[in-house]
Chains A and B, each alone.
Chain A
Amino acid sequence: MIKEKLNEQLKNQFHISSFRPGQEEIINDIMDWRDVLAILPTGSGKSLCYQLPASLFKGATIVVSPLISLMEDQVKQLKATGFKAVVALNSFMDLREKKRVLQQLDQYKLIYLSPEILQHDDIIHRLKQMLVNLFVIDEAHCISQWGHEFRPDYLRLGDVIEQLDNPAVMALSATATKEVQNDIISSLNRPGIVRHIYPMDRENITFTVKKVNDDRQKQEMIINILKRYRVPTLIYFSSKRITEKIAAVLSKKLPSHRIAYYHGGMDQVDRISIQQQFMNDQLDVICCTSAFGMGINKQDIRLILHYHFPLQMESYLQETGRAGRDGKSSVSLLLYAPGDETLHKSILDNELPSVEDVNVLFNRLYQLYLQNPQLPKTDEVLETLELSEIQWRFLHYQMEKHGMIKKNRLVFQHEEWEYSIEKIKEFMTERSALKEEKLGEIINWIHDDQCLRESLYKGFQTGYKTPLHACCSNCDFSFKNWEPEQTQANETNSSWETKLGKLFFIGDYNSETK
Chain B
Amino acid sequence: MLFDYIIMSCCSRFKDGRSISAVYHLLKGKRSIQTVQDSHIYQLNRFYGIYPSLQKRDFEEHIHQLADEDMLLLNNTNAAMTTVRGENWLREQKKHVPVNYFNGMEYYQKASIFLERLLLLIQTMTNSKKNNFHFIPVVDKRIATNWVKRQYYQTHRFQANFLNQLYEELYQLLKCFSEMEANIFVDSLTGYNHYGMSSFQIADHYEMKQLDVPLVRTAIVHHMLTIISRNTAAYPLFTRFLQDLPQEMRITSSAGKTKELLDRHYSAEDIAIMRQLKLNTIYDHVVEIALYDENFPIEAYVTAGEQAEIKGAVKNISSFKLKAIKQEVNETISYFQIRLVLAVEKIS
A contact set with B: CB distance below 8 Å? 72, 76-77, 80-82, 97, 244, 247-248, 251, 260-261, 266-270, 272-274, 276-277, 280, 282, 495-497, 499-501, 503-506
Contact = CB atoms under 8 A, between A and B. Distances in A.
A272 B204 contact: no
Interface of B: 53, 122, 126, 129, 133-140, 142, 163-164, 166-167, 170-171, 174, 179, 182-183, 185-187, 189-201, 204
Contact of B198 (A260, A280, A504): A260
A268 B137 CA distance: 11
Contacts of B198: 260, 266, 269-270, 273-274
Contacts, number: 86
A273 B174 contact: no
A497 B187 CA distance: 11
B138 A273 contact: yes
Contacts of B133: 80, 82
Instruction: In the A-B complex, list the 3 residue pairs whose CB atoms are closest, starting with the nearest.
Output: A270-B198, A504-B167, A503-B191
Contact of A503 (B122, B139, B142): B122
A273 B134 contact: no
Nearest to B53: A267
Contacts of B197: 273
A1 to B, nearest CB: 31
A276 B199 CA distance: 15
Given A276-B136, A506-B167, A500 B126 contact: no
Contacts of B196: 273
Given A260-B200, A273-B198, A504 B136 contact: no
Given A269-B138, A500-B170, A500-B171, A276 B195 contact: yes
B138 A282 contact: no
Contacts of A248: 204
Given A248-B204, A280-B193, A504-B167, A270 B136 contact: no
B138 A503 contact: no
Contacts of A503: 122, 126, 186, 189, 191, 194
A76 B190 CA distance: 16
Contacts of A505: 126, 129, 163, 192
A499 B186 contact: yes
A97 B146 CA distance: 14
Interface centre among B163, B182, B187, B195 (most CB of A within 10 A): B195
B163 A272 contact: no
A266 to B, nearest CB: 8
Q: Binding site of A, secondary structure by majority: helix, strand, loop or mixed?
A: helix
Most chain-B Cβ atoms within 10 A of its Cβ — which of A72, A82, A280, A497? Answer: A497
A249 to B, nearest CB: 12
Contact of A277 (B191, B195, B199): B195
B150 to A, nearest CB: 17
A500 B139 contact: no
Given A260-B198, A270-B200, A504-B126, A496 B136 contact: no
Contacts of A269: 138-139, 198
Contacts of A260: 198, 200-201
A497 B199 CA distance: 21
B129 A273 contact: no
Nearest to B177: A496
A72 to B, nearest CB: 8
Contacts of A277: 195
15 contacts: A80-B136, A269-B138, A269-B139, A273-B138, A276-B138, A277-B195, A282-B195, A495-B183, A500-B174, A500-B189, A504-B126, A504-B163, A504-B166, A504-B191, A505-B163
Contacts of A506: 167
Given A80-B135, A496-B179, A505-B126, A273 B195 contact: yes
Contacts of A72: 140
B204 to A, nearest CB: 6
Contacts of A280: 193-195
A276 B193 CA distance: 9
Contacts of A77: 136
A268 B138 CA distance: 9
Nearest to B214: A267
Contacts of A81: 134
The winner among B136, B139, B194, B204 for most chain A CB atoms within 10 A is B136
A374 to B, nearest CB: 24
Contacts of B166: 504
Contacts of B163: 504-505
B199 to A, nearest CB: 6
Contacts of B142: 97
A269 B200 CA distance: 12
Contacts of A499: 183, 186-187
A503 B187 CA distance: 10
Given A272-B136, A272-B195, A504-B167, 13 more contacts: A76-B136, A80-B134, A244-B200, A269-B198, A282-B195, A499-B183, A500-B174, A501-B167, A503-B122, A504-B163, A505-B126, A505-B163, A505-B192
A504 B194 CA distance: 11
A401 to B, nearest CB: 35
Nearest to B119: A269
A496 B188 CA distance: 11
A276 B272 CA distance: 55
Contacts of A497: 171
A251 B205 CA distance: 10
Contact of A496 (B137, B186, B191, B195): B186
A199 B133 CA distance: 36
A282 B205 CA distance: 14
- Scoring A274, A276, A504 by chain B CB atoms within 10 A of each residue's CB, the highest score goes to A504
A82 B135 CA distance: 10
Nearest to B188: A273
Nearest to A258: B201
Contacts of A272: 136, 138, 195
B133 to A, nearest CB: 8
A282 B194 contact: yes
Nearest to B205: A251
Contacts of A274: 198
A99 to B, nearest CB: 13
Contact of B140 (A76, A261, A495): A76
Given A267-B53, A500-B167, A500-B171, A273 B190 contact: yes
B137 A76 contact: yes
- Among B126, B133, B139, B201, which residue has the most Cβ atoms of chain A within 10 A? B201
Contacts of B136: 76-77, 80, 272, 276
A247 B203 CA distance: 13
Nearest to B166: A504
A500 B190 CA distance: 10
B138 A496 contact: no
Contacts of A76: 136-137, 140
A72 B137 CA distance: 11
